[in-house]
Amino acid sequence: MAREKSFRPLYHFTPSNAWMNDPNGLVYYRGEYHLFYQHNPESISWGPMHWGHAVSQNLIDWEHLPIALYPDSLGTIFSGSAVIDWKNTAGFGKESMVAIFTHHKDGKQSQSLAYSNDSGRSWRKYSNNPVLVTQDNPQDFRDPKVFWYQGNSDAYWVMCLAAGENVLFYRSPDLIHWTSCGKFHLDSSKRFGVWETPDLFELPIDEGSDSRWVLTIGALEGSPAGGSGTMYFIGHFDGCTFTLENPLEDIHWIDNGSDFYAAQSWNDEPNHRRIFIGWMSNWAYANNTPSEDWRGMLTLPRKVSLTRTEEGICLVQKPIAEVAALRCKSMSWQNITISKDNNLLKNIQGRNFEIISNFQINNGSELFGFRVRVRNGEETVIAYNALTQKIFINRTHSGQNNFHSEFAGIHSADLVPINGSINIHIFVDSYSVEVFANNGQVTLTDCIFPAQRSLGIELFSENGDTQLNQMDFYQLAKPNQFNCLSDVSRKNFGTLLNL
């Protein structure tokens, strides 16, 4: 199904052409963030996997580079990770960039290496691939995430690998010779299909001296919004084994929307941030979404951290600070009562914008929020129900949605007020909505496919008035561009800002 005239997303990564899914090989080296990704260059549908490649200095503006890894006699190139071998443990050369990936052939999967000595511009596969094979579960043995582990008395490479409904752990002194050292499995009646794309990293709690390890896993089934999603677990890692801190039944999801999967984080981030990014789609309908010559997007890069709440330690996600450079025009409001007929945004239209808002929850509040990309019956609703204490995205009328029965729907998450108020931070791009609530303790990510002229924005309150404590609205554009406003809205917006 083709889109009408297509506008590329302004600030979300898309492939130069054809199909894209999982982010791979995220690593920083000499001023560049490297992003590799699952890529079928010959079709807008999933097919023989390659590693596409792009680089950025700020995680917002990306330069597409030639395909890094092609299929070969050992198979197609499934997901994996990349590291800088600072100590030349593998012998490929000083500061080699090494990709660790899954070879897939005839239903069997194994782990292999490739390396680059010119900042990822050219690649050579290791002559003795594969470096890790198994006879136990050859069909689901994939997606290695590798990082350097510094223990109290020893240091070595660690690999996390998805195998069926398990995460397997291996260790190696040189990236070539791997020894099995641990396994994580949910001893639970709940089932989430095959696991994929694990990641493992340590984070401080509330930026203090206490820390925990976070294990993330892509699950093909059973997410809160249906279909695929990304789980996370909090616990301890001793260099070989991950141990849960919370009960097995206490399963958390990184995102409660429908379109956040296969999340991976950058190795060697220069500012010591843990930044990760996900594929913005769902395997339930990924091959069916409206498209022309490309299909697939990635989410905003997100800085992740841990905080301690009344319910325990939870993962917090916030858009990276670099996104603020996209803000070109703004408006602000404080202490305004929102009633049924009081739409503060009625004279503003937009395709690419950001809203930061804080609402007071009182006896008069029941249902309030935003409608975006509105026109001729199309709308995407981002709202809060104060009675049920849930935030939700409703995309049942968001535009094209009949390409798959599981696309249209309402996706929600519990959201308890903090000191009597809630914070809703929204990013809208050409085909997506990302919501960060209560300073990133809750997130929802959904793709949408509205008509290009559906540009209306509404702030509403139903079944009672709502107190708006603060709202900042930003139109977003790339630097030196004033293309973030539609022709219809530019005049009105300029008038409102006294331009």
- Catalytically annotated residues: 22
- Cα gap 3→14, rounded to integer Å: 15
Type of residue at 153: S
DSSP structural state of residue 267: B
Question: What secondary structure letter does DSSP report for 286?
Answer: G
DSSP codes joined into one string, 287-342 = GGS--SSEE--B---EEEEEEEETTEEEEEEEE-GGGGGGEEEEEEEEEEEE-TT-
Q: Is the peptide bond before 15 cis (omega within 30 degrees of 0)?
A: no
**Cα 395 to Cα 42: distance, rounded to the nearest angstrom:** 31
Distance CA 237, CA 221 (A): 26
- Residues, the chain: 499
- Residue pair 256/412 in contact by the 8 Å Cβ criterion: yes
Cα–Cα distances in angstroms (integers) from residue 439 to residues 209, 263, 422, in the given order:
22, 20, 9
Reference 315, options 222, 409, 246, 226; nearest CA is: 246
Q: Could you tell me how many helices (H) and strands (E) the chain has, helices first? A: 1, 33
Backbone angle region of 455, left / alpha / beta, with phi > 0 → left and psi within -120 to 50 → alpha = alpha
How far apart, in whole angstroms, are the C-alpha atoms of residue 132 and residue 176?
Answer: 8
Buried b (16+ CB within 10 A) or exposed e, 17-52: bbbbbbbbbbbbbeeebbbbbbbbbeebebeebbbb
Number of other CB atoms surrounding residue 438 within 10 Å: 20
**Alpha-carbon span 166 to 198, nearest angstrom:** 10
